[in-house]
Amino acid sequence: MKEFIESGNAVLGIELGSTRIKAVLIGADNAPIAQGESEWENRLMNGIWTYSMDAVGSGLKSCFKVLQADVKEKYGTEITGLKSIGISAMMHGYLAFDKNMRLLVPFRTWRNTITGQAADELTERFSYNIPQRWSVAHLYQAILNNEEHVKDIAFITTLAGYVHYLLTGNKVLGVGDASGMFPIDSATKDYDRRMLDSFDELVKDRNFPWKIRDILPKVLVAGEDAGTLTEDGAAFLDPAGSLQPGALVCPPEGDAGTGMAATNSVRERTGNVSAGTSVFSMVVLEKPMKGVHREIDVVTTPAGAEVAMVHCNNCTSDLNAWVNIFEEYSKIMGVPVNKSDIYTKIYTHAMEGDADCGGVLAYNFLSGEPVAGVDEGRPMIVRTPDATFNLANFMKANLYSSLAALKLGNDILSREEDVKVDRLMGHGGLFKTKGAGQNVLAAALKAPVTCMTTAGEGGAWGIALLAAYSAEVKNGETANLSDWLDKAVFKDAKGETVQPDPNDSEGFDRFMVSYRACLAAEKAAVENLKIGS
């Protein structure tokens, strides 16, 4: 392996997630051979969820430095050259730059729910669901707000697109990530021309010096040439100077696309669920949906096929907060324990709770949840006086809550759109504790759920696979992405599949009756309990 790395044949994938920036180096068999990571966290500043661009730079450098240390420890060498690189990050949001690539306003992430008017108006105008977190919704809301910076915009992109620009100098975006900025025409695998023209007509009276198509990144599908690592890019990523320029860099993708790649879910009737800070399900469609549903996005695979996406802003953050409480309790009792053990024990114990959580109800909304019609977050526990209130039911209610909003959207897909799925893969932090998250998801969606050994770390590996695929295409490989994944990556892959427990599925449905009914209480909490009060 030392010679393989020193020859510059390894492939690097980096994903900027909600709480971690993670790097995965893969070998000739496309399996991980080294890893690095750096923690970071979003901040709520002046009512806006954001990350600073300084944190982006320092986090990437720290992550790569840890990766280099891992390579040094394992193989006695360091990375000086790479065959290819892939950059992925959280989708959506708003990064607006002027002609000198100066950031005009702080990064507005996917987590913000501040574009309701814009999303509603664009959805009606396009006859196409435009969620609040999409870049075009942020742009139009800034226009509606008469924000001064809009006239100076020369380029808008996603976080992955921005980092890709820093490494290559190219203003491009993978089609999957682009589909969370502006609607994509699956026939052309580019932005929908009719909707581009409609947007320009909508803002014509504002007399901006730009057209929407001119400020969006160029769309590329998996395998297309997205540029190479420049000298400045190599120095940005590795200030120590070991990494040399010249590596191929694949089209930057969003975390949805990398999740599809990492779970081999890019064919029709396959799907995956990524469950971490946020949670989203992706099902590759056989045919276009009949209706426009505000709970469901239509995005694409990295190859440009249409995907029904149910995206929920909240998943494990409130679960993590409760685990922190239990950790604090153990410390004051004089019996400190490893936090990972708390997750394992308490999630496993939750499986002993009643199928409907015994009358205990939880809302995990740390931030707004558009799928549930809630504009801001107020985490909340509710129970009836006769509820069976014990630890198992308490934690099971919190696990159910982490997937309840996702179930709201997926029930529409199955009941109103008759969407079929043959295989559902689970990945992300919720599935690290064996059996718990997987069983709850199977019960919620009434479908078998498979988790592979990479279930906890899918994103960075997924973009590394897309980078490896780009290198194969450049070398003359003609297989499409789904065939390449089948043959080169997942041919001998093993995973564990759980079938939905009918009793738990029925219990989850009973839980959801109360969940839907008490959303009014959650909305009342938002209205009456103000942040900072």
Question: Within the chain, how many helices (H) and strands (E) appear?
Answer: 18, 23
Residues in the chain: 533
CA 307 → CA 162, 186, 431, distances in Å? Answer: 24, 10, 23
In this structure, which amino acid lies at residue 104? L
Per the structure block, which two tokens stand in for 447? 């479908």
Contacts 24+ apart (CB under 8 A), 490-494: 490/264, 493/264, 493/452, 494/452, 494/453
| pLDDT by position in tens, the chain (length 533) | 899 999 999 999 999 998 899 999 999 999 999 999 999 989 988 889 999 999 999 999 999 999 999 999 999 999 999 999 999 999 999 999 999 999 999 999 988 989 999 999 999 999 999 999 999 999 999 999 999 999 999 999 999 999 999 999 999 999 999 999 999 998 999 999 999 999 999 999 999 999 999 999 999 999 999 999 999 999 999 999 999 999 999 999 999 899 899 989 999 999 999 888 889 899 999 999 999 999 899 999 999 999 999 989 899 999 999 999 999 999 999 998 999 999 999 999 999 999 999 999 999 999 899 899 998 999 999 999 999 999 999 999 999 999 999 999 999 998 899 998 888 998 888 988 888 999 999 999 998 999 886 544 578 999 999 999 999 999 887 779 999 999 999 988 888 899 999 999 999 999 999 999 999 999 999 999 988 76
| Contact by Cβ (8 Å): 5, 72 | no
| Contact by Cβ (8 Å): 474, 248 | yes
Alpha-carbon dihedral sign for residues 255, 157, 16, 225: positive
100 three-class SS: coil
d(CA 394, CA 323): 12
| Contact by Cβ (8 Å): 314, 300 | no
The dihedrals phi and psi of 35, each to the nearest 5 degrees, come to: -145, 155
- In Å, how far from its chain's centre is CA 241? 31
d(CA 427, CA 280): 10
Q: Which residues of 12-48 are buried (b: 16+ CB within 10 A; e: fewer)?
A: bbbbbbbebbbbbbbbeebeebbbbbbebebeeeeeb
d(CA 65, CA 74): 14
Nearest to 42 by CA among 16, 72, 12: 16
Which residue reads 């750096």 in tokens? 38
d(CA 356, CA 404): 12
Burial, 8: exposed, middle or buried (Cβ in 10 Å; 0-12, 13-18, 19+)? middle
| Contact by Cβ (8 Å): 281, 410 | yes
First to last CA, the chain: 57
| Contact by Cβ (8 Å): 282, 259 | yes
State residue 533's pLDDT score: 61
Taking CA 464 as the corner, what is the angle to CA 463 and CA 468, rounded to the nearest 5 degrees? 115
Per the structure block, which two tokens stand in for 134? 């999409």
Beta-bridge mates of residue 383: 360
- % helix / strand / coil in the chain, to the nearest 5? 45, 20, 40
Tell me, what DSSP letter sits at residue 300?
E
d(CA 528, CA 173): 42
d(CA 442, CA 297): 22
Alpha-carbon dihedral sign for residues 519, 129, 304, 22: negative
Per the structure block, which two tokens stand in for 56? 């982006």
Nearest to 312 by CA among 137, 507, 92: 92
Per the structure block, which two tokens stand in for 184? 């994509």
| Contact by Cβ (8 Å): 153, 198 | no
Phi-psi region of 298 (alpha: psi -120 to 50; beta: other; left: phi over 0): beta
State residue 259's pLDDT score: 87
Per the structure block, which two tokens stand in for 273? 């669920």
Q: Set out the domains of the chain in order of their start, with CATH numbers.
A: 2-257 (3.30.420.40), 317-400+501-528 (no CATH)
d(CA 228, CA 470): 12
DSSP 3-18: HHHHTT--EEEEEE-S
